[in-house]
Amino acid sequence: MTSRGGAKSPLFPPEVALHLVKLACEMPDRLGRSLCLWDCQELARMLVSAGIVESISPETVRRILNNHRIKPWRHHMWLGAKTPRDEAFCATVQEICDLYTRELLPDEKVFSLDEKTSLQPRPRKNPTKPAKSEKPVHVEHEYGRNGALNLFAAFDTRTGKVYGRCFRRKRQIELISFLEYLDGTIPSNITKIHIVCDNLRVHKGKQVVQWLSKHSRFIFHFTPVHCSWMNQVEQWFSILQRKRLKIADFKSIDDLRAKLYQYVELWNENAHPFNWTTKSVAKIMAYVQPLQTAA
C-alpha cells in the first residue's frame, strides 16, 4: 500500500483499510467512544479493541487515511439549508458591501461597531521576564483574578481609525454612553454617521432606539445573522488580541483600561483600512446568489 507521497505503509489486508475508512467516516459518539473527533491514536485503539488487528501504529493509520484523503481530526463550520438565504438576506449583504465600497459624500462616515467582552487583567504572581539569548519571554503560569472589562470599539472603514471606550458591563446604557462619546468626538460637519453592527439585543433595544430618534445623524445598519465576518471591527479585534492581549498580564482593571487606550492610540498613529473592493464584493455576491436560488 502506497500513500500519495509515495511512502510505503505496512501491508494490511484490504478489509482492514476498509474498516478503518468506515470508522473514520463515522462520528465517535455514534460508535460509543466519548470523543468529539477522531485522531490517529484513537482510531488505532479502536481497531485493536474491536479485534480487527492485533496492533497498528497511529502513523500507519495516518498513512492509510492519507491515501484516501480523509482527515477526521479536522472540522469545518457550515450552515444548514434551513438558514435564511432569501432576497432580504441578499439585499442586506449588498447594502453593507455598498457602504464599504462606494464613494462617500463629504458629510458621511461609515463605522463598524462591536464589543470585545470579558477582558481580564490576570496579574501574574511573578513578573513576566523579557526574552534573552536562546530564551523566549517567560510568563508566570499562575495569575490572579480582578474583574473584567468590555471594550466598545468603532472602526472607521475608510481611514482605519479606531474609537474605543471601556466599560465594566455591556448593556444599552453603556452603548448609549459610547455613542455619546462618538457624537462628541466626530466633527459636526459629518451629518451622516453610518454604524454597521450585529443583531445583538444591546444594539436594538428600546433605549437605544429612543436615543437614535433624537440623534438623526446616526444610522444603524445590521449585518445578517451568521455574518459577523462582514463586521470589519472584528478584523481589528483579532489584531488587538494578537498584539496586545496574547499575554494577559496587567496589574489591575485600571491598568488594563489604560493599556487598551494606549494601544488604540498606537494603532491610530499608523491606522489603515481593510480595503473592500468591487472585486471582493462580486465574489461575495456570487456566493450568496446560488444560496438564494437554492433556498
Task: Tell me, yes or no, whether 5 lies in a domain.
Answer: no
Any domain includes 4: no
Could you tell me if 248 and 197 lie in one domain?
A: yes
- Each residue's pLDDT tens digit, 138-187: 999 999 988 999 999 999 999 999 999 999 999 999 999 999 999 999 99
On whether residue 9 sits in a domain, the answer given is no
Are residues 201 and 55 part of one domain? Answer: no
C-alpha cell at 53: 488487528
Residue 60's identity, in one-letter code, is T
Q: What's the pLDDT tens digit per position in 239-275?
A: 999 999 999 999 999 999 999 999 999 999 999 999 8
Residues 171 and 279 in one domain: yes
Say whether both 150 and 204 belong to one domain: yes
Residue 233, C-alpha cell as written in the block: 471591527
Cβ neighbours of 245 (radius 10 Å):
19
> Does residue 80 lie within any of the structural domains?
no
Residue 151 lies inside a defined structural domain of this protein: yes
Q: Give kind and range of the element (H or E) at residue 177.
A: helix 172-185
Residue 287 and residue 151 share a domain: yes
Reduced to 3 states, what is the DSSP secondary structure of residue 204? helix
Residue 46 lies in a domain: yes
Residues 29 and 104 in one domain: no
Predicted TM-score of the model (pTM):
0.77
Q: Residue 84 has which C-alpha cell?
A: 435564511
Q: How far is CA 270 from the centre of its chain?
A: 23
Looking at the fold, whether 125 and 45 belong to one and the same domain comes out as no
Locate the DSSP E strands across the chain.
108-119, 149-156, 162-167, 192-197, 218-222
Distance CA 65, CA 135 (A): 38
User: Which residues form the domain of 243?
Assistant: 87-129+141-294
* pLDDT tens digits, 98-150: 999 999 999 999 999 999 999 999 999 999 999 999 999 999 999 998 899 99
Task: Give the residue among 280, 174, 162, 179 at the shortest CA–CA distance from 229.
Answer: 280
Q: Is residue 134 part of a domain?
A: no
